[in-house]
Amino acid sequence: MAMQLPLGARKAEPDAPGVRPQIGWSLSPRSDREAGDAIASNFLFHAFPSKVSKASMAWSYSFWLGTVSAALFFLLILSGLPLLFLYVPSVERAYQSVKDIEFVITFGSWIRAVHRIAAHGMVIAVFLHLMRVFLTGAYKNGMGRGQHREWNWVLGVVMLLLTLFLSFTGYLLPWDQLAFWAVTVGTNIASSIPWIGPTVRELLIGGRTIEQATLIRFYVLHVVILPLGLGVLFAYHMWRVRKDGGLARAEQEALLERPRDVAATPTKTYTLLGVARGQAPVIRAQALEAPDTTVNAVPDLVRRAAIATLGTFAIVSILSVFIASPLEEPANPLVTPNPAKAPWYFLWLQEIVTDTTIRIGSFTLNGAFVGGVLLPGLLVGLLTFWPWLDRSSHLATGVWFARVRARQNIVFLLVVLAILILTFIGTAMRGPYWYFYWPWEAWPDIPARI
């Protein structure tokens, strides 16, 4: 319903309903094809195809989580820019500069809150996006030639890891107690890897103790290397979506048994992917082009992308007015806070490293390695190669909770549930000395120092 085309302009240009000549435009497309070419050759719009299937634009199919993730990434860059001018990456001055941002600089606390909330939001959005893609089987290929959605899934997994690593490097920067001990624990997890562990840790922190060398390394990773990497992968991710024939949901249109009553060509090269002519998948279905199943990217797709993006900006900006960012005491290598907790999205890992020290006779395997390296490595490995393990029919491509994929969806949801439960236990049920407390139990008073 929201996809109805604007009526006003249709009289003049019935063949190009979406694109209407406007004042200031250098071109007046006379047909759909001309309009499509115009979009493909427009720098700002070339990321979009000229037409998209209505079904793949539906809010309830993708929840636009990829767009939300991208919007948050963009917002993180925008809010990171002023912070770059204000933050000083030195162990003597980092804490003070963040304190200034929070309490002295006009709008500083708001900018920092935007950056922090967008970062938390991005972890959530990227993970939900991954869940959506898994549960809809959207990493599967349909009938088109040259589709490699599995590679885009792998890219997505790498981008999730980069997002987490960006968060990890980001919360070191204030150089407060949370930062210092999170990095102590995090890099000791790396150091628990047999043989190469200590070397890896030394490379990460630039020495044997967490000091200036560590801060500058994490800073450069956070502001240059990781965002650059994520940006490049993001561009590639988007390009692959185009190459693979759009969202997986579009495959369902292509798979319709009955051909639609449109100018029929039995096999037609699907050139909506204007950028990659000749390599575009060939799809044998007229439904993809039928006026009742597709809309023009401009304005329909652009409008929705704008709503998702601006909506994300608005929500983060407003939340940031009300939610202040915490700043703990300055980093003190002499005192570990009690309890010392990681940020919420790593608490399930903290819970796992607590519970996975294995003892067989006199042989002990440190939980740091089992829970911090082996188990997460196994999970990420499984996640990465899942498209090759999933042998279900291509008919399940782009379908929520497809019956043939029921079992793997349940297993996936159980793993997610386990992670959520562990996160909750770590957040609400662990007190001083990581003892177990019910959420309603009060923690005992424990002196800060002996």
Assess 328 for contact with another protein (CB under 8 A): no
**Subset of residues 80 to 99 that bind another protein, contact rule: CB under 8 A:** none
Binding residue (CB under 8 A) for another protein from 353, 373, 396, 425: 353
**Subset of residues 354 to 413 that bind another protein, contact rule: CB under 8 A:** 354-357, 364-368, 371-372
CB of 198 to another protein, least distance (A): 12
Assess 350 for contact with another protein (CB under 8 A): yes
Tokens 């304190």, located at residue: 99
Cα-Cα-Cα-Cα dihedral sign, residues 445, 446, 447, 448: negative
Contact 4, 57 (CB under 8 A): no
Binding residue (CB under 8 A) for another protein from 232, 432, 441, 444: 432
Query: Which segment (4-12, 13-21, 158-166, 353-361) binds another protein by CB under 8 A?
Result: 353-361
Contact 147, 141 (CB under 8 A): yes
Complete DSSP assignment for 402-433: -GGGHHHHHHHHHHHHHHHHHHHHHHHSB-GG
Give the Cα separation of 248 and 149 in Å (integer). Answer: 8
Binding residue (CB under 8 A) for another protein from 146, 330, 337, 376: 337
Assess 114 for contact with another protein (CB under 8 A): no
Query: Which segment (6-14, 40-48, 137-145, 331-339) binds another protein by CB under 8 A?
Result: 331-339
CB of 213 to another protein, least distance (A): 7
Contact 28, 20 (CB under 8 A): no
Give the Cα separation of 30 and 304 in Å (integer). Answer: 25
- In 298-405, where does DSSP find H-type helix? 302-322, 347-355, 367-369, 375-389
**Subset of residues 176 to 215 that bind another protein, contact rule: CB under 8 A:** 181, 184-185, 188-189, 192, 202-203, 206-209, 211, 213
Residue 436 dihedral angles phi and psi, to the nearest 5° = -80, 130
**Closer residue to another protein, CB minimum distance, 385 or 434:** 434
**Residue ranges binding another protein (CB under 8 A):** 181, 184-185, 188-189, 192, 202-203, 206-209, 211, 213, 217, 334-340, 350, 353-357, 364-368, 371-372, 430, 432-435, 449-450
